[in-house]
Amino acid sequence: MVSYLYGRRVEVWLETASKIYKFYYHQTENYSFGITFTIPFSDSTTAQTCEVGIMNLSKSHRRLFKKGRKVRVYAGYAESGVGLLSEGFISSVPPYTSDGTNTTFTFNFKEGKDAKVKKKVNLSFGAGTNASTIIRRIAKEAGITLGTLNLAKPNAAYKTGYTAKGKPLTLIKAVAKKGGSKAFRRRGVLCVDDLTKANGHKEHLFLTMHQAGKHGGTGLIAYPAYNEDDDDSSKKTVELQMLLQYQVSVGSVIEVSNEYFSGTKRVQSGQHQCDDSGFLTTAEVYA
């Protein structure tokens, strides 16, 4: 069954000690909250900073958005429903603005699932310890929620043992590299995966462009554009612009069909954006 990409849906969930507050935008006359957002994603362990705006929010509701409180942003469509774009903790709340008719309240949050993470760890591992075991132990000790753990070299081990002393993310990145993989955040959760292969996060998306005079087209809204900045062919990427697809994030495997660019591709980075000009996902995929 085909799900049509119309009827925008956006939800912002704010978590306090006693309650989860939910703010909705539905593309109908009965929902007055206008919600905008810019949510980037990248194959990095650095926490992305996301921005959300809500129009005509009452003073009592604005007071709920305090630094350090957890938020989640969901988006989608009337038929297919919504999915999580990102989650994290509020990092700043700028003064709200007005155009004389409407007020817009904005806040920024840094993506991440864990409120408290140790800045340093100090662990020792015996000879022959597997890299995946070390990654799990570091994450547990530091208080980091670990998502996918997929090493390209699953048998990678430290023959003489290993001492994990220092910043946990730096250590996990180094051990992941030994296993032939990469550490990155996906919707706020730390993952370790081999991003050069078409496996892992298969989102079952098939992207095509609408052709004049014909029915169909599944969200691709512009011709793919090659990134020519990098001379290394293994690092070349192609930019895809599509109607917002909440399923797309770092590591997503999607199928693209276009006269200039096609195949099964893996996502490196991009962003979800909702504002007056559109409801869009932009993704850089490995060429």
- Per residue in 93-122, pLDDT (tens digit) is 998 888 777 789 999 999 999 999 999 999
- pLDDT confidence bin for 232, thresholds 50/70/90: low
Kindly report, residue by residue over 235-275, the tens digit of the pLDDT. 789 999 999 999 999 988 888 888 888 888 889 999 999 99
Q: Stretch 193-209: mean pLDDT, rounded?
A: 72
Give the pLDDT confidence score for residue 30 in this predicted structure. Answer: 64
What distance in Å separates the CA atoms of residue 243 and residue 218, rounded to the nearest whole number? 9
Name the residue with higher pLDDT: 194 or 25.
25
pTM (predicted TM-score): 0.90
Question: Measured at the alpha carbon of residue 6, what is the angle toward residues 262 and 209, in degrees to the nearest 5?
Answer: 20
